[in-house]
Amino acid sequence: MNTPSLQDFPDSAEDWLARLLSPECTASDHAAFEEWLALSPRNVLDYAEVERIHQLAGALAADPALHEAKPRPAVRTPATRRQRAWLRPLAWAAALVLAVSGGLWLLGDSRPSPPSAYATEIGKQRRVDLPDGSSLVLDTNTLVQVSYQRSQRHVALLKGRIQASVAHDADRPFVVTSGNGSVRALGTVFQVQRQDGGTLVALLEGRVIVSTQGDTPRRSIELHPLQQLAYDADGTLGSPQRIERNVAEGWTQGRLIFEEERLADLVTEFNRYSHGQLVLSGSELGEIRVSGVFNAGDQTALLATLRQGWGLQAQPIDGNRIELSASHH
């Protein structure tokens, strides 16, 4: 069976409205309609205009005041008729302007929109306020695409880490996709980070459902506040783990907080904020446990702390790399 193409569907806003209002409208029709809208912003505006005029006409038809209005007797001269004929197009034009402007206002974010891209450079962070009242904090070296559909608000995390503070909207959940999974929320505060081919999700407030789709059947886990879990590139979900809010939110305030963490993990995290990359002289150094509060990107302060507290030495090597090694005395 051949899959229908857009050529098999309407190509105008008026025809699409009729198609969608038809009792025979199918899921394929809705999918094709979304594709047609995505072809051009003009299609979105045209459909908004037609739909709002349709709704306005329905509202006017149901207005009791119109049904109760009585026509006034009047003597119509040829000049009067000519004047009324000339004014009628203006009246329709005014109604059209009202319908379109009202349609665009009501349209808001309920229609599909072209994705908006937001990014940060290495060592930079950024806050993005979204049209629906939600906000994103983008960590260093992060790239996201944000789009709005009728059924959901969608953020695609392409790289890096974000914290989302989501405005509640029961009709349109807020969905963040990353790798082979997604995080679905209605109103909440949570973080999503892409790392080593997988994804880490941390919930600070509210509730989210983390779902994955891979070689294994689709799985979903609901997180409770102050829990996090990871899933890998194959969609395998880990178990929820307890987190501390101040530790999880530290990076949004420019601070990296470590509590008995492996030095290898600390180095990986710090390298995200700097063009100069730290490397370990041996894998055994990676198992050293480190605690402390560090300013993200302040590599000089980190190296001084590692030297004073753990006796590690830093030596520049090829390119932009700095090697950490154990002190020899």
CA dist 314 and 280 (Å) reads 10
Q: How many residues does the chain have?
A: 329
CA distance linking residue 111 with residue 197, whole number of Å? 32
Higher pLDDT, 170 or 62: 170
Task: Encode pLDDT of 108-162 as tens digits.
Answer: 444 455 678 999 999 999 999 999 999 999 999 999 999 988 888 999 999 999 9
Q: What pLDDT is attached to residue 85? A: 44
pLDDT tens-place string over residues 266-322 = 999 999 999 999 999 999 999 999 999 999 989 999 999 999 999 999 999 988 899
78: Cβ contacts below 8 Å, ≥ 6 apart: none
Question: Hey, where are the domains in the chain?
Answer: 6-64+79-107, 116-246, 254-326
Give strand pairing partners of 280: 324
Region class of 297: left (phi > 0), else alpha (psi between -120 and 50), else beta: left
Q: Is the pLDDT of residue 255 over 60?
A: yes
CATH 3.55.50.30 applies to domain 254-326: yes
* Number of helical (H) and strand (E) elements in the chain, helices listed first: 8, 19
What CA–CA distances, in Å, run from 314 to 131, 135, 256, 289, 310?
46, 39, 20, 18, 12
Q: What is the pLDDT of residue 187?
A: 85
Q: Which CATH architecture has domain 116-246?
A: Sandwich (2.60)
Q: In the prediction, which pLDDT does 216 show? A: 59
Please compute the mean of the pLDDT values over residues 58-67 and round it to a whole number: 53
95 sits in which H/E element:
helix 78-107
Summarised one tens digit per residue, pLDDT across range 66-121 is 455 544 444 444 544 444 444 444 444 443 433 333 333 334 444 455 678 999 99
For residues 196-217, give the mean pLDDT.
Answer: 87
pTM score: 0.64
Residue 164 pLDDT > 90, yes or no?
A: yes
Cα 312 from Cα 303, distance rounded (Å): 8
Q: State the average pLDDT for the chain.
A: 80
